[in-house]
Structure 1
Amino acid sequence: MIALKNIRVIDLTQVMAGPYCSMLLADMGADVIKVEPPGKGENTRQMGPPFVNGESGAFLSVNRNKRGMTINLKTEEGKKLFHKLATTADVVVENYRPGVVRRLGIDYETLSGINPRIVYCSISGFGQTGPYSNRGGYDLIAQGMTGIMSVTGERGGNPVKCGLPITDLGAGMFACYGILTALLAREHTGKGQYVDTSLFEAGIAMSVWESTEYWYSGQIPQPTGSGHRISTPYQAFKASDGYFTVGADAPHHWPKFCEIIRLPNLPYDERFIDGTVRLKNLSELILLVEEQTKNQTRSYWMEKFEDAGIPAGPIQTYAESLCDEHTLSRKMVTNLEHPIAGSIKALGIPVKLSETPGEIKSPAPLLGEHTEEILQEIGFENEEIKRMRQNGIA
């Protein structure tokens, strides 16, 4: 059995946050029906490079395990078709700008009137309420406005965007969490509900250390490079063949760390005697440490620190990370066969369930690939399906 086997999700989303949310549900067995407009489909199908035999890598990366269907929601017949589909669904996920779904007649109020058990999730840049709710939302904008860019980068440097689309992915995960919570509540109440989250709130919610520093110290958080906000040494250091990270901030790790890097007297130096003063003199500490670490390879230091029980790891490129033996042993890389792109790789499922594990069983759908199949499931006859297809309704 797969955990969400009997849950049907209608996916009206595009680009990153919404598709990522619905993919997480699909990986755990939900029947996710990706609804796109006829013709070109959602915007991500045209995003690239990279393209694989004309198929967008960006689209393939967040739409696996879904079935694809086309509906022209700008027509009255298309709207009625969507309403009929919604009567069979448990969840609807959308990430239009606020107000669009209401104009289309596919908003929560409309659908809950048709199907009171529906859980309806909206993901937007800034949420459905508040002074910024009507603004367009992009990961870059959310990272800037929530403070993330102000604390990313080297000390004293310019603001830098996080290398990952962190508010997009975060909003997708929070949306998934909200949907599953609402589905669990429905087991007790019998009713669905509205779930509202945003890129902006994801950025704020993940700023745990930074908000703490500001509220409890009065200091405005600044960039720390690879370092930690309140602990040191907990950062990257240079080796002869690249960089590695080490977390030797615990009291029992600090003296061992100093012995390994051949600076056994450092723990008794007044500039570095405890964590508080080490943070104040961090620049000096880094210079002293790297004078030692740059003379040996990453693997040399990894072996030394591992033997001493000090957490450490090499800074790897994605070429190294995706081929790492641990990555592969945890099944975080998988292979799929796509009818056009051919053999493609995909990231694995990061949560392992012992009794109802997820499964990656199909690549992202072709545009409208399962339209006829789904229409038949909800009661349409072949002649009616043929007419709707010819008229651009589905």
Structure 2
Amino acid sequence: MTRPRPPLEGVRVLDFTQNLPGPYATLVMASLGAEVIKVEPPGGDTARAMPSLFGIVNAGKRSIVLDLKQHDAATIIAGLVRDTDVLVEGFRPGVMARLGCDAAAARAINPRLVYCSISGYGQHGPYAGWPGHDLNFQALTGVCHMSRDQYDHPFGSALPIADLSSALTAVASVLAALFARERDGQGRAIDVAMVDTLLSWSHAWAEGLTPRGTTGARMLASARPWIERGAAALPGRMRPLAQRVAGWLGGDDGRRRADAIGAAVERSTVYRRLERLRLHALPHYGLFRTRDDRWLSIAIVDEHKFWRALCKGLALPRLAGVPLAARFVAAAPLRRTIAAAIRRHDLAHWLSNFERERVPIAAVLPIAESLVDPQLLARMGGGRFGAPAPLSTTSLGPAPSLGEHTESVLSALPR
């Protein structure tokens, strides 16, 4: 049986990007079968100073060296653009225009060209020309505000999620543009801003789950019967708290209290905690230290079967019948109970125990251990890391040396 052709076989991508967002996007395209020509300045992509990172995100590409400030650079770029399907650039807005190769100029040369710009703040707006890096974009879009340490200080993700999410947004947009081109024969100009991508994530998460105004009042009022039912199932020392909360929300006085909370909630500590914690407000969603000072992640949301299995595995059968609403109200004491139980055994014990019980858990692994985890190793296909492109049968070669393909690529241009 013959293997299917890679989805992007025959598609040529001209890559003017450096560091991580653009190179990761074009890595995915290369994994899908595209020919990627990486255009580098004489000094090379700055990521070459980090050989491991560079080698991963530039695998399978061809490299040419081109000094974009030389007088004949525009002519060379025009020659490349004529025979290119996709151009990806990651300069700050205005740089490509000064080089005579912005979206309008490039598509005038090749109307079928899909031109994708990836930048921090996008091609327009008051911040368009600002420099920035991943942490700045996390800060601006609410990600840092939602992530707090034990001292209630905001912090950013160590994983550069703005870079990586915008890379995948760029890939999805390019694929959609290539699909549209098959219908109408026209290329597209794509403006990917890292802040747009992160904001679409953080806004959906924050807006969808945080009470605001009268919505908050309705949520509080509707929670009362759940809290009442949950209170009856709680162990004795936790029950009074839930009963007090339920009584406080009852009757006309309770509705007035809920209305007052709904109006004030955005200014309150409660709102800030809800806004940043979300699932982490549940006692069974978090990271727990084991006896051997490793860490175990437990991620149970609203699935009662998993809660029962967790209680069984922890030898806490008395808690198995506690419903979700009561667990939310008594989150702090329940979390302490779970943490104390987890602390009694090593990580290996819990991995084996919860595998039998089918509880959603995972060990907190450093990267070195992740790369030899049997599941991740199986997905990587023998240990070689690549882009997550399951449609592709492309096997990528190593990253190119600086300018390795300059002569072969430029000599093929029409004279």
Normalising by the residue count of structure 2, what TM-score does the alignment of the two structures yield? 0.80
Mapped partners of 1:58, 1:248: distance in 2: 34
Contact 1:332–1:349 (8 Å) recurs in 2: no
Task: Please name the residue that 2:208 is paired with.
Answer: 212
SS of aligned partner of 2:107: helix
Shift of residue 209 of structure 1?
2.0
- More displaced, 63-72 or 303-312? 303-312
2:212 paired with 1:163: no
Task: Please name the residue that 2:144 is paired with.
Answer: 149
Match of 1:28 among 24, 29, 32: 32
The number of residue pairs the alignment matches comes to 351
Mapped partners of 1:228, 1:332: distance in 2: 33
CA deviations on 1:111-160 (whole Å, 9 max, x unpaired) are: 11110000000000111122221211211100111111112243553111
Task: Please name the residue that 1:228 is paired with.
Answer: 279
Q: Which runs of 5+ in 1 are unaligned?
A: 49-55, 336-346, 381-394
SS of aligned partner of 1:228: helix
Task: Please name the residue that 1:193 is paired with.
Answer: 188
Contact 2:371–2:383 (8 Å) recurs in 1: no
Contact 1:91–1:118 (8 Å) recurs in 2: yes
Comparing both structures, which one devotes a greater share of its residues to strand?
Answer: 1
2:408 paired with 1:373: yes
Task: Please name the residue that 1:308 is paired with.
Answer: 357
Task: Please name the residue that 1:327 is paired with.
Answer: 376
Task: Please name the residue that 1:255 is paired with.
Answer: 308
Mapped partners of 1:213, 1:132: distance in 2: 29
Task: Please name the residue that 1:360 is paired with.
Answer: 395
Q: Letter of the 1:11 partner, please give it.
A: D
Mapped partners of 1:265, 1:204: distance in 2: 42
Identity of aligned residues (%): 33
2:211 paired with 1:176: no
SS of aligned partner of 2:98: helix
Contact 1:155–1:223 (8 Å) recurs in 2: no
- More displaced, 95-104 or 256-265? 256-265
- More displaced, 213-222 or 64-73? 213-222
Shift of residue 229 of structure 1?
4.5
Task: Please name the residue that 1:342 is paired with.
Answer: none
Mapped partners of 1:358, 1:280: distance in 2: 50
Contact 2:312–2:320 (8 Å) recurs in 1: no
Mapped partners of 2:407, 2:59: distance in 1: 19
Contact 2:120–2:131 (8 Å) recurs in 1: yes
CA deviations on 1:183-224 (whole Å, 9 max, x unpaired) are: 000001100010111111121122232231236646344444
- More displaced, 322-331 or 103-112? 322-331
Say if 1:259 and 1:58 are closer, same or farther in 2 by CA, change over 3 A: closer
Shift of residue 232 of structure 1?
4.5
- More displaced, 249-258 or 368-377? 249-258
2:103 paired with 1:108: yes
Contact 1:332–1:350 (8 Å) recurs in 2: no
CA deviations on 1:21-78 (whole Å, 9 max, x unpaired) are: 111101111111001122x122222x34xxxxxxx32322211111001122222311
Mapped partners of 1:310, 1:60: distance in 2: 37
Q: Which runs of 5+ in 2 are unaligned?
A: 217-265
Tell me which stretches of 4 or more aligned residues in structure 1 moved more than 6 Å: none
Comparing both structures, which one devotes a greater share of its residues to helix?
Answer: 2
Task: Please name the residue that 1:53 is paired with.
Answer: none
Shift of residue 231 of structure 1?
4.6
Task: Please name the residue that 2:46 is paired with.
Answer: 43
Mapped partners of 2:331, 2:197: distance in 1: 31
Q: Letter of the 1:127 partner, please give it.
A: G
Mapped partners of 2:387, 2:21: distance in 1: 17
Computing the radius of gyration over CA atoms, which structure comes out larger, 1 or 2? Answer: 2
After superposition, the CA RMSD in angstroms is 2.0
Mapped partners of 1:299, 1:197: distance in 2: 43
Q: Letter of the 1:245 partner, please give it.
A: S
Mapped partners of 2:126, 2:97: distance in 1: 19
Contact 2:63–2:403 (8 Å) recurs in 1: yes
Say if 1:111 and 1:327 are closer, same or farther in 2 by CA, change over 3 A: same
SS of aligned partner of 1:367: coil
Mapped partners of 1:255, 1:58: distance in 2: 43
Normalising by the residue count of structure 1, what TM-score does the alignment of the two structures yield? 0.84
Mapped partners of 1:296, 1:11: distance in 2: 51
Contact 1:154–1:223 (8 Å) recurs in 2: no
Q: Letter of the 1:366 partner, please give it.
A: S
Q: Letter of the 2:175 partner, please give it.
A: L
Mapped partners of 2:183, 2:6: distance in 1: 22
2:75 paired with 1:80: yes
2:18 paired with 1:14: yes
Mapped partners of 1:78, 1:349: distance in 2: 31
Mapped partners of 1:140, 1:105: distance in 2: 31
